[in-house]
Amino acid sequence: MLKSFFYLLLFSCFASTACAQGEQEANLKAAFIYNFTKYIDWNFDATETNKNDFVIGVIGNSPVTASLNEIAKENGVGYKRIVVRVFNSPEDIGSCNILFIPRRSPFSLRSILEKVRKGTLTISEEAGFARQGTAFNFVIINDKLKFETNLKAIASAGLKAGSQLLKLAIIVDNS
Amino acid sequence: MLRSKIIVIALLLIAPVLLNAQKRPANDDVDSLLKLSLEELMNIKVTSVSKSPEKLEEAASAIQVITQADIHNSGAKTLPEALRLASNLQVAQVNASQWAISARGFDNVLANKLLVLIDGRTVYTPLYAGVFWDVQNVMLEDVDRVEVISGPGGTLWGANAVNGVINIITKSSKETKGLLVEGAAGSNLPALGSLRYGGKLGDKISYRVFGTGFKLGNTLLKNEKKANDEWTMGKGGFRMDWDASEKDKISFQGNIYDAKPNPAGKDTSSVAKGDNLVALWNHVSSAKSDFQLQLYYDHTSRHYDNGLKEDLKTYDVDWQHRNQLGYRNEVTYGANFRIMNHNVTNLPLFGFYPSQKTLYLYSAFLQDKIILVKERLGFTIGAKMEHNSYTGLEFQPNGRLSYTPTKKQTIWAAVSRAVRTPARIDRDFSLLLAPGIAFVSPNDNFVSEKLVAYELGWRTQPVKALSVSLSSFYNVYDNIRSVEPGPPPSGLPVTFGNGVKGESYGIELAVISQLTNWWNLKGGYTFLKKDLSVKPGSRDSNKASAESNDPEHQFVVQSNVKLPRRVELGTLIRYIDKLPKPYVPSYLGLDLRIGWKLSKAIELNIVGQNLLDAHHSEFIPSSPSPREIERSVYGKVTFRL
């Protein structure tokens, strides 16, 4: 994969707030998301649709989409191949195993969470979102990427997260 | 002679390709990251992209960015050397401490159509409306990037941003933690050394302190004897960044410096000293609104070896507020107030009158960035109104249109008006041949130089690894400075008038490509033509040359190759066409850098500069005598903890 410089993003953006995230950061988050999938009990038999696909949805534009697509080329989850789907608005949100919510989204978190189906793990990257209901939320502390988790959100999605994952997380709901 | 130089360069560019046949994956790509465990991933430092500059028109201007990596790869020792990396600038070394730097022409040691800022602080002198490059050294290790915008920036940046703006941005102290020690010496570098330490005070405050100094070697006189113009400079300072709250960021910076430039090679050099303090508060009210307040104090003083003294104290307050109104309009407005207290100790025959003058500058600007068609067409309109002590109110409007037909292309067009307001030399300067016999007399009627610029540009990224930007401009100038003779028979005293007008036009091409994981190439070509004439009623003794000397063509190519065993090879090639008058022949310059990271803590660099000729000339000033720049080599050791 060829490395591109931040000013390439600068040139190709047009008043887009996604400009501020570097490619390294996007790649890092995608790697985290892929690693999360190994520690979650997905209940694959319970969801009937997309039997052979593990769908990672992204609502709106984000540089993380490209990184996820790179991962999808040669990696899968269990026996399933990874498919990355971009949804243009909350109304378009279809069934997916993970929904990634990029920061500075033009849509409010509430409108997105209303349309998320059961069985979907929500992952965001904006301050405070885990507290507001996403299952995982990326934060940068001391220039390193960490993640918050909302245990209730994981449970209401009908999923279970392994203790190895939770011990690395910052738990925001003290349940 | 030229052909053999080109062959040498071609071999140097190809050699690393032959040496490095294997592919080395970069460490930040997804495949490498997937090999790590979650714990290891959580230990990686996130390199977030530098924030889009606040005042920048990303889509609609001719901007080139010199990154820290570019500076590091080039082996540049000083700030003016680093500016060579922008092909949209005319950069010429005049002697050991003086440089002629401009954009879109009108280059001169006293070039006055370029605005230069370091972290938001203007470094222009009201003495001649230009920059004293011999005191503008920043520790290059601390530079995050240099934004070079060619074209008028009058609306956002104010008067004097006629032909371009150079914005030098240093790293936040968050990114310069730990100890850094560097030392260098070479054939034309008696010494260069820096010490920097950065750390944290608690969770939210980071800081750095640094000291840097150098003695740069002499240039040669035309008879190949030493010019004795060595340049010595020492600088120290600090920076502190405080994340006061989730929405507020505050930063403080201070510098103090002392330089001994000696361009004429006299027994005693001039002394130029200064100190400055900058405070910046950035507040994000919401995703749709943020503002910034900046205050700075800048003190510079120069004592020339002939006894002339100049002291300048600047106090500046600047406010800017950005608001996203609805989905279509991004409105930015701001206000600025600046006091410049200028004190000159005149010589009996040479001086500025009154010797003490306080200049006031008030300005306000408003800009609206409008989305006409979502992700396709945008229009920005803005204006700055400025009031200065010499000419009163000046108006600098501009309009920009940006069209994005496909995801990978943008076409933009702009029309702008910009002014270069009078400096003390235009209005207050007096030179006598002998007591009572005036040679140059002040002119109270000198008005601002004006520019109306028409620009058209195209930017495309046809494949991920290639980015191309092509800008063209047509500038119409009026009231450019002329030298008007006095009444016959002697023609004395002369005064500075506004007797030159004319046009200039040109194109600027810039290409950035990441050819492979380990090889990147950046380059640019600039074409410039000027057509100036004397206005009716003027008897300009310079015959409309406007004291400028510019090349018609220039190109710059920078290549950086990552070789095995942590070795890097950087190459910088520049071709500068001849300068018309005074004549300087065209030249091809080659700089090479070999860098080797012995370990995480130690880096060695060997840099050869101006390698193709034993010595060459880049610019001939009106004084002191013309110089030649010698071929040189230096070695540098950098130690990081």
Residue A163 touches partner B, C-beta closer than 8 Å: no
pLDDT at residue B96 in the model: 92
Cβ-count burial of B252 within 10 angstroms (0-12 exposed, 13-18 middle, 19+ buried)? middle
CA B469, CA B516: separation in Å to the nearest integer?
Answer: 20
DSSP 3-state of B560: strand
Q: For A26-45, how does the pLDDT look when each residue is reduced to its tens digit (9 = 90+)?
A: 999 999 999 999 999 887 76
Nearest to A1 among B31, B44, B50 (CB): B31
Cα–Cα distances in angstroms (integers) from residue B213 to residues B182, B235, B259, B608, in the given order: 11, 6, 9, 21
DSSP 3-state of A168: coil
Task: Classify residue B502 as left (phi > 0), alpha (psi -120 to 50) or beta.
Answer: left
| Interchain proximity B46–A6, CB inside 8 Å | no
Residue B51 touches partner A, C-beta closer than 8 Å: yes
Q: pLDDT at residue A5 above 50?
A: no
CA B139, CA B439: separation in Å to the nearest integer?
Answer: 42
Task: Classify residue A164 as left (phi > 0), alpha (psi -120 to 50) or beta.
Answer: alpha
Residue A174's pLDDT band (boundaries 50, 70, 90)?
low
Residue A21's pLDDT band (boundaries 50, 70, 90)?
low
Phi and psi dihedrals of B6, rounded to 5? -65, -35
Q: Are B300 and B259 in contact (CB under 8 A)?
A: no
Joined tokens for residue B522: 């950046």
Percent of chain A predicted with pLDDT > 70: 83
Residue A109 touches partner B, C-beta closer than 8 Å: no
pLDDT at residue B154 in the model: 65
Q: What is the DSSP string of B300-315?
A: EEEE-TTS-EEEEEEE
| Interchain proximity A22–B49, CB inside 8 Å | yes
pLDDT at residue A79 in the model: 80
Q: A105-118 as b/e, with b when 16 or more CB fall inside 10 Å?
A: bebebeebbebbee
Using the 8-state DSSP alphabet, how is residue A38 labeled? H
Name B589's Cβ contacts closer than 8 Å, sequence gap at least 6.
B572, B573, B574, B575, B576, B610, B612, B616
Nearest to B41 among A9, A17, A32 (CB): A32
Task: Collect all residues of chain B within an 8 Å Cβ-Cβ radius of residue A169.
Answer: none
For the beta sheet containing B437-440, the strands, ordered from the edge strand earlier in sequence to the opposite edge, are B350-352, B429-434, B437-440
Q: What is the DSSP string of B79-135?
A: HHHHHTT-TTEEEEE-SSS-EEEEESS--STT--SEEEEETTEE--BTTTTB--GGG
pLDDT at residue B24 in the model: 37
| Interchain proximity B514–A4, CB inside 8 Å | yes
Joined tokens for residue A74: 């040669």
Cα–Cα distances in angstroms (integers) from residue B165 to residues B158, B400, B533, in the given order: 10, 17, 26
pLDDT at residue B224 in the model: 87
Could you say which residues from 67 to 96 on chain B have a Cβ atom under 8 Å away from some Cβ of chain A? 67
Profile chain B (641 residues) by mean pLDDT over runs of 10 residues.
61 52 53 84 66 40 87 94 95 93 89 89 86 89 90 74 90 90 96 95 92 94 90 95 86 95 87 95 83 94 91 94 86 93 93 93 91 85 92 92 84 92 91 90 93 93 84 95 90 91 95 86 94 92 86 95 91 95 93 93 96 94 89 96 88
Q: pLDDT at residue A7 above 80?
A: no
Could you say which residues from 513 to 542 on chain B have a Cβ atom under 8 Å away from some Cβ of chain A? 514, 516-517, 520
Task: Collect all residues of chain A within an 8 Å Cβ-Cβ radius of residue B247.
Answer: none
Strands B429-434 and B350-352: antiparallel
Nearest to B30 among A5, A31, A104 (CB): A31
Nearest to B459 among A11, A27, A144 (CB): A11
Closest chain B residue to A146, measured at CA = B42
CA A103, CA A124: separation in Å to the nearest integer?
Answer: 7
- Count, in order, helices (H) and strands (E) of chain B: 7, 35
Question: Which H or E run contains B418?
Answer: strand B409-420
pLDDT at residue B531 in the model: 94
Residue A61 touches partner B, C-beta closer than 8 Å: no
Task: Collect all residues of chain A within an 8 Å Cβ-Cβ radius of residue B73.
Answer: none
Chains A, B: CB contacts within 8 A come to 138
User: Which value, in Å, is the radius of gyration of the alpha carbons in chain A?
Assistant: 16
Cα–Cα distances in angstroms (integers) from residue B379 to residues B151, B408, B413, B415, B625, in the given order: 18, 19, 10, 12, 49
Task: Collect all residues of chain A within an 8 Å Cβ-Cβ radius of residue B29.
Answer: 1, 3, 27, 70
pLDDT at residue B9 in the model: 61
Q: For A42-65, how does the pLDDT look when each residue is reduced to its tens digit (9 = 90+)?
A: 877 655 555 778 999 999 888 899
Q: B595-618 as b/e, with b when 16 or more CB fall inside 10 Å?
A: bebeeeeebebebbbbbbbeebbb
In this prediction the pTM is: 0.76
Task: Collect all residues of chain B within an 8 Å Cβ-Cβ radius of residue A107.
Answer: none
Cβ-count burial of B306 within 10 angstroms (0-12 exposed, 13-18 middle, 19+ buried)? exposed
At residue B566, what is the residue type?
R
Q: Prior bond to B354 cis, omega within 30?
A: yes
Q: Are A162 and A41 in contact (CB under 8 A)?
A: yes
Strands A53-59 and A98-101: parallel
Residue A166 touches partner B, C-beta closer than 8 Å: no
Could you say which residues from 547 to 586 on chain B have a Cβ atom under 8 Å away from some Cβ of chain A? none
Closest chain B residue to A33, measured at CA = B38
Q: pLDDT at residue A1 above 60?
A: no
Q: pLDDT at residue A14 above 70?
A: no
Cα–Cα distances in angstroms (integers) from residue A169 to residues A28, A138, A157, A158, B264, in the given order: 16, 10, 18, 19, 65
From the list B152, B124, B153, B156, the residue with the least C-alpha distance to B424 is B124
DSSP 3-state of A113: helix
CA B605, CA B76: separation in Å to the nearest integer?
Answer: 11
pLDDT at residue B20 in the model: 44
Question: Which H or E run contains B281?
Answer: strand B271-286
pLDDT at residue B5 in the model: 66
